[in-house]
Chain A
Amino acid sequence: MNSVFDLLALQPPGWGGALLRGLVSTIQIALGAYALGLCIGFFGALGKIYGGPVLRWSLEFYTTLIRAVPELVLILLLYYAGTDLLNAVLTSLGFERVEISGLWAGIYVIGFVQGAYSTEVFRGALNAVPRQQIEAAQSIGMSPILMHRRIIIPLMLPFALPGLANLWLITTKDTALLAVVGFSELALETRQAAGATKEYLTFYLAAGALYLALTLVSTLLFSLLERRLRRGEAKVH
């Protein structure tokens, strides 16, 4: 039986390097998906608040449906639908069919799911901005874009941050689901390492530790960020 250190060594035959590579692609997918989710969420929230009936109803449909269906089912549906749609567009334009890389498919699929959740977070936060602040901005003649940039978004961020921090943690953990579709990230690398060596307990514990380290560091960064965003506010306690 090999020692734990041999199994987790960075050079082959150890699997430590493979796990770390998996961690890097997990972080890449999570960052990309989170950024995409934030973009969808921000404009989705603006659309829900200011949009006409058609836009509002289609956004309502999007957020309700995404939040009612399990992530795993969504990931499979979006993965197949996305690649089919892209290839249908490409072939109709006369191009060759393509295989989407795992990284981009993962980013698009998880980002699309996260977009629904962050739409709701941003909508709640935008609604929490005191009305008088908006009226004051309007009364001194700020244009809507200037008002959002200078007043609403800075005031909204502290309200949105706890929800956004939660979403980041959910995004990092959702990337593990991509292992089921066969993307090579931390969960899949772990599964392969465990399958090859039959040391299941060691590798799943190691993967758990890596995910935990990622979430703990993230939590720390988010609390620092929140302190910075709230630096002008009066202390409650």
Chain B
Amino acid sequence: MVWDWLPEYAPRFAEGIWLTLQLLGLSIFFGMMLAVPIGLVQVTGPWPLAWAARAFCTVIRGTPLLIQLWLVYYGLGSLFPSIPGIRETMIWSFLRDAFPYAVFAFTLSVAGYEGEIMRGAFKGVPKGELEAARAIGMSPLQVLRRVWLPRALQNVFPTLAGEFILTLKATPLAATITVFEVYGVGSIVRQETYRVYEPLLFVAAIYVFLTLCLVVLFRFLENRRKIPNT
């Protein structure tokens, strides 16, 4: 084992960790914004919406994330340059970068998996609580915001925490479309130093550490959310 390359690459690993966390944070944030309506329409929505949400979850969960990522980056990405005049606009520099595509693909993936979980979560809230909220005159939106969503999230919080850790473990895929997060930096080191095991082991250790941090964070959030005497 030779580790003399480590000090030289440490700053790049720090950048890689920051990029991984950004990718994870953004895709969980946008993904959950989509997952809540996707779960909700499957429980209450009119059938075309419920059916569309169901189909979306099935397709996302039935295909590998790697294919989705390549479809978004190479497939959709190859369509944009054919739009006339797009190269002169502001968004071109944004569309040329790989990171937005990675965030988009991961967001869809989070929405698909978590939408399915939110469906179960919304279903699992006892009917009586929703009827009670309606009976004291809350509007449907108030019922959702004050009772249905908080109760649903509380029930599935441990499941969601586990899913977010799976999302963290999927982030190395972004390296295949030139987003140089932790794993991407590790492969650069591998190419430049011709060392096989050390960079991979170091990358693995970083992921174990990040997973531990997330576990501690979610444990803390879960305890804070707990309603006394339940």
Contacts and interface: CB of A to CB of B under 8 A. Distances in A.
Interface string B76-105: 111100000000000000000000000000
Interface stretch (B41-49, B148-156, B195-203, B220-228): B195-203
Interface string A157-184: 0000000000001000111110110000
B66 interface: yes
A86 interface: no
Nearest to B72: A204
Interface of B: 58-59, 61-68, 70-71, 74-79, 168-173, 175-176, 183, 186, 196-197, 200-201, 203-204, 207-208, 211-212
Nearest to A80: B196
Interface of A is mostly: helix
Nearest to B212: A68
A153 B70 CA distance: 42
Interface of A: 65, 68-74, 76-77, 80-81, 169, 173-177, 179-180, 187, 190-191, 194, 198, 200-201, 204-205, 207-208, 211-212, 215-216
A70 B207 contact: yes
A70 B196 contact: no
Given A198-B78, A200-B75, A179 B66 contact: yes
A73 B172 contact: yes
Contacts of A77: 197, 200-201, 204
Contacts of A173: 63-65
Contacts of B70: 187, 190-191, 194, 200, 204
A148 B213 CA distance: 40
A208 B68 contact: yes
Contacts of B175: 72
Contacts of A68: 207-208, 211-212
Contacts of A70: 168-172, 183, 204, 207
Given A198-B78, A200-B78, A201-B76, A207 B67 contact: yes
Given A69-B208, A187-B67, A200-B70, 11 more contacts: A70-B169, A72-B173, A72-B175, A73-B200, A73-B203, A175-B64, A190-B70, A201-B76, A204-B67, A204-B70, A204-B75
Give the one of B61, B64, B186 with max A CB within 10 A.
B64
